[in-house]
Amino acid sequence: MLGQKLLPWDYGVRNLFRRPSRSVLTLGGLTIVVLLVLVVVGFIRGLEKSLAATGNPNVVLVYALSSGADIENSSIPGRSPSLLAASVDGVRRRHGVEYVSPELYLATRITASGMSEDALSQGGMGLVRGVTTAAPLVRDKVQLLEGAWPQSGEVIVGRLAHSKLGAEEEDLAIGQQVSFDGQSWTISGTFVAAGSAFESEIWAPLADLQTALKRQDLSMLAVAMDSPEGVADVDLFCRERIDLELKAVSESGYYAALQKHYKPVRMLGWVVVVLVAGSGIFAGLNTMYGAVVGRVRELATLQALGFRRRAILLTLVQEATLLACAGALVACLIGLLLVDGTAVRFTMGAFMLSVDSVGIAVACGVAALLGVVGALPPAIKAMRLPIVEAIKAI
Amino acid sequence: MPLVEVHNVVKEYANGEETIRPLDGVSLTVDQGDYVSLMGASGSGKSTLLNLIAGIDQATSGEIVVADTDITKLSRGKLADWRARHIGYVFQTHNLIPVLTAYENVELPLLLLPMSSAERRKRVGIAMEAVDLTSRASHYPRQMSGGQEQRVGIARAIVANPTVVVADEPTGSLDDETTEQILTLLSRINTELGMTLLMVTHDADAGSRARRKIRLERGRLLENGKPVSLVKGQTAQLHTA
Ligand SMILES: Nc1ncnc2c1ncn2[C@@H]1O[C@H](COP(=O)(O)OP(=O)(O)OP(=O)(O)O)[C@@H](O)[C@H]1O
Ligand SMILES: [Mg+2]
C-alpha cells in the first residue's frame, strides 16, 4: 500500500472546498451524529460511574430482611449497631472508633428557601440520609468539598442534590436553608463522592433526623471490616440473631446487583449508539454518492494518468474521513463544553453525563467508521466503471 | 525496431444479439519519432484503437507491444504503472483536475515516478515553458480559456517524457485560431522534442500535419489508400513509404 504512489494530500482537502455548502451540510450532519453518540455514551458512562464508584468489598451493608433491595423500606432496630459491634470480630477499629455507620435513609419532599415556584411545584423529592461521624469513615469515597461537618440543625449536601430537587445550585449553597419533615436546616457544607449516588443526597445528623421524624429505628448499617472475609462473619451474625431480622450484603455485591438492575438501560444505550451510528453511515453514504457521481470522469482521468484504483479509493476515503474527523472534533468540543457534567435526574438519584476518554474514543471511532464505510461503496462503484466509459461521462 | 507494434487486434462489443466489431484484425507499427494521424468516419473505431494503444481499454484478441512490453498481458495494476511511464494522453476536452492549479495538473504524472521534488520542479518548468504558459502556473482550470486549458493538457501529457503521446481529437472543441495554435504546438513536440505522436482527428487539415496518415475503414487500416497488411514484413515495408 505504501509502496504505491498516492494522490497529493491537498487534492483530497481541496475537494472538500469544491462544494462548500455541501461540505458544510455534511459536516453538520456528521457533527450531530457524533454528538448524539457522545451524549448517549456520556449517559451510559455517567450511569456506570454512579453505580460502580461505591462498591468497597470490605464494607457490609446490613438492612432489614423484609426489605428486598430497597433501603427506603428497610427498618432495623436502633440497638443493632452496638449489638453487632460487640458480637462480630473483625469490625474495623481505629483509635478506639468502630467503623460502624448507622444510617436512616428516606425520600421526602425538600424545599430550599431560594427555590422558584416552578421547581417547588414540580418535584422537590429529595433523598435524606441521617448519619453519624462514622459515616465518612465507612463511606470513604465521601469527601467534604467545602464547609464543615453538620452540627445539630445543620446538613451537608451532595454536589448533585440540587439537580435531584430540580433546584439551582445557588439554592443549596452553604448558609442557605432547606426544610423537610417540618423542620428547617442550615447548609453547613457540600460533599462529593466520586460520582456515586451519594452525590444526590442530603446528609443530616442522625439524632436530629430521628427526632424530627419521631423515629428510633434505622434504615441500615454500613460496616467496614478489616478484610473482605469479615463479610461472612456479619452474615453469620445476622442469621443467628433472628430476632433482629437483619440481612447482610457486601457493598460491592449490593452495587453489582444494582448494576444488573440497570443493565437493560445500559444495553439500550448501546443499541441507540449503534442505531445512531448506522443512520449516520447511511446519511454519509448518500452524500458521498453525490460527491463521487459528479466526479466519475475526473476519477477516470486519474486512472488514465496511471494512478492505481487503490490510490484513488484512498483519496476518496481521505476526504470523507477528514470531514468526519472535523465533525468529531466539533462534536467533542460541544460535548466537553455543554454535555459533560450535565446532571440527569433519575429515580435513584442523579448523575452527571460524562464525556470521558471512553466517550471520546467511541465518538472518534464512529466518525472514522462513518468516513470509511460511507466513502467506500460509492468509490468502489465509481472505480468499477471501465476507464474508457467513465472518461466520456459528463 | 518499431516502438509500437499492433498485431491483428480485434475489438468486439456484444450488443444484445449482434456483435459490433469496430476493429477487425488491425495491425500497425509506429517507429520512434513518428507523427501519425488516424482518421476515419465517426464510429469507425479510431478512439477505440487509440485507447487500446494507450492501455486504457482491453482488446478482444491480438497483441499490442509498446517498447518491448506486450501490454495485453499486463494486470490492471501493472498496466496503470505502465501508463504512468509510457503514455501521455491528450484528451479532446483536456480533463484537467479542477481543484489543482495548472502547475499542479502538469506535476500530477510525475508524482507517479520516482523523482526528487527538485527534478519535478525542473520538468514541470520545462513543460510549462514548452506550451508557453509559465505565467499561468498558479491559475486554476476555471480561470483559463479553452485553448489554454488544452495547452496545460498537452504539458501534462509530455511532462514525464512518455514513450508515446496519444491525442484523441485534441482540437475537436476549439475555434480555428486556437486549433492552429495547438496543431503547431503538437508538431513542435514531435520535431523539437522528438516525441512519438499518435493523433486521432476528424479534420483533414489537422491530419495532413502528420508525417504518416492512416485511415480506419470498416475495421481495417489503410495507409496511402493501401491496406496495412497483417504480415509483419509487409507492414514494416509499408510505413517507410
Ligand atoms: N462501450 C461500448 N459498447 C458498445 N459499443 C461501443 C462502446 N464503445 C464504442 N462502441 C462502438 O464502437 C464503435 C467505435 O467507437 P469509437 O469511439 O472508437 O469511434 P470513433 O471512430 O472514435 O468515432 P468518433 O469519430 O465519433 O469519435 C462505434 O460504433 C461505437 O458505437
Ligand atoms: Mg472518437
SS3 A373: helix
What residue's CA is closest to ligand 1, atom 10?
Answer: B13
- Looking at the domain assignment, is residue B176 inside a domain? yes
CB within 8 Å: A301 and B97: yes
Q: pLDDT tens digit string along A10-30?
A: 888 888 888 888 888 888 888
Tell me A227's DSSP state.
S
Which of A8, A18, A297 has the CB atom closest to B95's CB atom?
Answer: A297
SS3 A308: coil
Q: pLDDT tens digit string along A59-94?
A: 999 988 887 666 778 899 988 888 888 888 889 988
Distance separating alpha carbons of residues A156 and A150, to the nearest angstrom = 6
CA angle A124, A126, A129 (to 5 degrees): 155
Distance A24 CA to ligand 2 centre (A): 39
Domain with residue B84: its CATH number is 3.40.50.300
- Kindly report the average pLDDT of chain B as a whole number: 88
Q: Point out the ligand nearest to the CA of residue B57.
A: 1
DSSP assignment of B175-232 equals -HHHHHHHHHHHHHHHHTS--EEEEE-S-HHHHHTSSEEEEEETTEEEETTEEPPSSH
CB A61 within 8 A of CB A257: no
What residue's CA is closest to ligand 1, atom 5?
Answer: B13
Query: Can you give the pLDDT at residue A123?
Result: 60
CB A358 within 8 A of CB A65: no
Max Cα-Cα span within chain B: 56
Mean pLDDT of A210-236: 91
CB within 8 Å: A306 and B84: yes
Q: pLDDT tens digit string along A93-105?
A: 888 889 999 999 9
- Looking at the domain assignment, is residue B17 inside a domain? no
Distance B72 CA to ligand 2 centre (A): 21
Cβ-proximal residues to A175 (8 Å cutoff; 6+ apart), any chain: A186, A187
| Residue B33, all three cell numbers | 519519432
| Residue B9 to residues A29, A152, B62, B64, Cα–Cα distance (Å) | 52, 104, 4, 8
- Looking at the domain assignment, is residue B2 inside a domain? no
What residue's CA is closest to ligand 1, atom 18?
Answer: B45
Max Cα-Cα span within chain A: 93
Distance separating alpha carbons of residues B22 and A101, to the nearest angstrom = 96
3-state SS record for A106-126: EEEECEECCCCHHHHHCCCEE
Distance separating alpha carbons of residues A47 and A345, to the nearest angstrom = 11
Cβ-proximal residues to B71 (8 Å cutoff; 6+ apart), any chain: B55, B64, B65, B79, B82
Query: Can you give the pLDDT at residue A12?
Result: 84
B27 pocket-lining for ligand 1 (C-beta < 6 Å): no
- Kindly report the average pLDDT of chain A as a whole number: 85
Distance B217 CA to ligand 1 centre (A): 13
- Looking at the domain assignment, is residue B225 inside a domain? no
Q: What residues have a C-beta under 5 A from ligand 2, the ion?
A: B 47
| Amino acid in position A99 | Y
Q: pLDDT tens digit string along B175-195?
A: 888 899 899 999 999 999 899
List b or e across A362-382, with b for residues whose CB sees 16 or more CB atoms inside 10 angstroms. bbbebbbbbbbbbbbebbeeb
**Is pLDDT at B3 greater than 70 in this prediction?**
yes
For chain B, how many structural domains are there in total?
A: 1
B97 pocket-lining for ligand 1 (C-beta < 6 Å): no
Q: pLDDT tens digit string along A113-136?
A: 777 776 666 667 888 999 999 999
Q: B228 pLDDT band (50/70/90 cuts)?
A: confident
Of chain A, the percentage scoring pLDDT greater than 90 comes to 23
Q: Which of residues 79-98 of B touch A (CB under 8 A)?
A: 80-85, 87, 89, 91, 95, 97-98
Distance B81 CA to ligand 1 centre (A): 26
What contacts 24+ positions apart, CB below 8 Å, involve B143-147?
A: B144/B102, B145/B178, B146/B173, B146/B174, B146/B178, B147/B174, B147/B178, B147/B181, B147/B182
CB A370 within 8 A of CB A324: yes
Query: The cell 514494416 sits on which residue?
Result: B236
Q: Which domain holds residue B36?
A: 32-56+74-214
- Looking at the domain assignment, is residue B24 inside a domain? no
CB within 8 Å: A305 and B91: no
Judged by a CB distance cut-off of 8 A, whether residue A242 touches chain B is no
Of chain B, the percentage scoring pLDDT greater than 70 comes to 95
SS3 B136: helix
Helix (H) or strand (E) holding A200: none
- Looking at the domain assignment, is residue B123 inside a domain? yes
Query: Can you give the pLDDT at residue B239?
Result: 45
Does pTM top 0.90 for this prediction? Answer: no
Cβ-proximal residues to B107 (8 Å cutoff; 6+ apart), any chain: B120, B124, B159
B135 pocket-lining for ligand 1 (C-beta < 6 Å): no
Query: Residue A217: left (phi > 0), alpha (psi -120 to 50), or beta?
Result: beta
Query: Can you give the pLDDT at residue A20?
Result: 85
- Looking at the domain assignment, is residue B97 inside a domain? yes
Q: Which of residues 373-392 of A touch B (CB under 8 A)?
A: 386-388, 391
Query: Residue B176: left (phi > 0), alpha (psi -120 to 50), or beta?
Result: alpha
CB B63 within 8 A of CB B8: yes
B194 pocket-lining for ligand 1 (C-beta < 6 Å): no
- The residue whose CB lies within 8 Å of the most ligand 1 atoms, and thus the one to mutate among B12, B47, B56, B221, is B47
Q: pLDDT tens digit string along A287-334?
A: 778 778 888 899 999 999 999 999 999 998 888 888 888 988 998 888
